[in-house]
């Protein structure tokens, strides 16, 4: 780590700098990543750049075959990582398919942790309109799932009205009280610390008791971040990125969420008060880039600047 490059007038300021380093490192500790089965096919060995026991979420996108997610989970498990497949409610065609899916990922890939999502869009191909309907089957307790993730929306959802999101979170909290699994919320990625903190505070005041994992945008070009933000319909983040893109050069530059991480990590007491327990990185510009960046922070290869920090990776 380095506190050089900053003008410090006393030992207390140097000590404060070291403390700031520690907050940043602690904030990224235990981060998770994600992949799609399609991307996984192009990676020879995840273990070449993703460290042992890291949780790797695996998507189950509309129109895809859940069996490819099973294959990816098996491979990730063999490489010493922790596979955590998505279960997209509206893309599950039947109760039989759901049982086959959960039986195989637990039996063949050692899965103990999953993420439940409604699924992109509103098209429903089977009996499950939402994640609550999946939970009501009781199948995840039956197959020994110990951690169940659900989605969080700091900027709302283009597919679900805010009032429905609120009702669904209330029901998921109720269900979590009767399940054997530990529940957690993984938020959609967002570019503004205040938006994230205000959202977490609000849902907790409304009765949420489920711990929160903050979603961070990974290392990517601004043009890539803008494309994904538009597809996810996250309005404030889109506006933020459009302002950044007014400088054409910014579109091709690699962006790191260092400013966001510094602001969030410095809000240590607020994170604790808001029941925020960790970080999930959406590797929009490639898994290796985001993994290398996060691991460099864990290894304290960072240098503070007056308003942010830089990472040597």
CATH of the domain at 166: 3.20.20.220
In a domain, 14, yes or no: no
Please give the residue range of the domain that contains residue 75: 22-219+256-299
Q: Could you tell me if 280 and 31 are in contact, meaning their C-beta atoms sit under 8 angstroms apart? A: yes
Rg, Å, the chain Cα set: 20
Task: Give the number of domains in the chain.
Answer: 1
In a domain, 183, yes or no: yes
Q: Cα dihedral sign for 28, 223, 229, 198?
A: positive
In a domain, 213, yes or no: yes
Q: Tell me which H or E stretch contains 193.
A: helix 193-205
Regions of the chain short of the pLDDT cut 70: 1-18, 227-253
Q: Could you tell me if 77 and 40 are in contact, meaning their C-beta atoms sit under 8 angstroms apart? A: no
pLDDT tens, position by position, 25-39 = 999 999 999 999 999
The reported pLDDT for the residue numbered 63 is 86
In a domain, 305, yes or no: no
Tell me the CB-side half-sphere exposure of residue 278, using CA atoms within 13 A. Answer: 17
The reported pLDDT for the residue numbered 301 is 96
pLDDT tens, position by position, 5-16 = 555 556 666 566
Kindly state the tokens that stand for 168: 């669904």
In a domain, 197, yes or no: yes
Task: Name the burial class of residue 120, with classes exposed (0-12), middle (13-18) and buried (19+) by CB atoms within 10 angstroms of its CB.
Answer: middle
In a domain, 164, yes or no: yes
Tell me the pTM.
0.89
In a domain, 241, yes or no: no
Q: How do 220-221 and 254-255 pair as beta strands?
A: antiparallel
In a domain, 49, yes or no: yes
With tokens 């070291």, the residue in question is 18
The reported pLDDT for the residue numbered 248 is 44
């Amino acid at each position: 780590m380095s506190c050089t490059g900053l003008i410090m007038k006393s030992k207390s300021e140097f000590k404060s700098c070291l403390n700031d380093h520690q907050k940043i490192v602690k904030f990224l500790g235990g981060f998770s990543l994600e992949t799609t089965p399609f991307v996984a096919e192009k990676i020879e060995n995840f273990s070449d750049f993703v460290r042992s026991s890291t949780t790797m979420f695996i998507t189950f996108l509309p129109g895809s075959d859940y069996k490819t997610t099973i294959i990816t989970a098996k491979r990730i498990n063999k490489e010493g990582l922790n596979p955590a497949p998505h279960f997209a409610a509206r893309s599950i065609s039947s109760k039989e398919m759901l049982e086959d899916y959960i039986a195989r990922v637990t039996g063949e890939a050692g899965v103990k942790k999953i993420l439940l999502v409604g699924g992109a869009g509103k098209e429903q191909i089977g009996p499950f309109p939402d994640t609550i309907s999946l939970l009501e089957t009781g199948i995840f307790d039956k197959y020994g799932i110990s951690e169940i993730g659900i989605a969080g929306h700091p900027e709302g959802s283009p597919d679900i009205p805010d009032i429905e999101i609120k009702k669904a979170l209330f029901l998921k909290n109720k269900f979590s009280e009767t399940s054997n699994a530990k529940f957690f919320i993984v938020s959609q990625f967002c570019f503004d610390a205040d938006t994230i903190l205000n959202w977490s505070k609000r849902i907790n005041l409304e009765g949420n008791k489920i711990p929160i994992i903050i979603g961070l945008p990974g290392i990517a070009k601004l043009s890539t971040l803008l494309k994904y933000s538009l597809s996810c319909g996250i309005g404030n983040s889109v506006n933020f990125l459009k302002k950044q893109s007014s400088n054409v050069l910014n579109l091709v530059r690699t962006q790191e969420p260092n400013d966001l991480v510094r602001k969030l990590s410095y809000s240590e007491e607020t994170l604790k008060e808001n029941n925020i327990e960790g970080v999930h990185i959406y590797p929009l510009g490639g898994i290796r880039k985001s993994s290398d960046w996060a691991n460099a922070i864990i290894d304290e290869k960072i240098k503070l600047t007056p308003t942010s920090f830089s990472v040597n990776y």
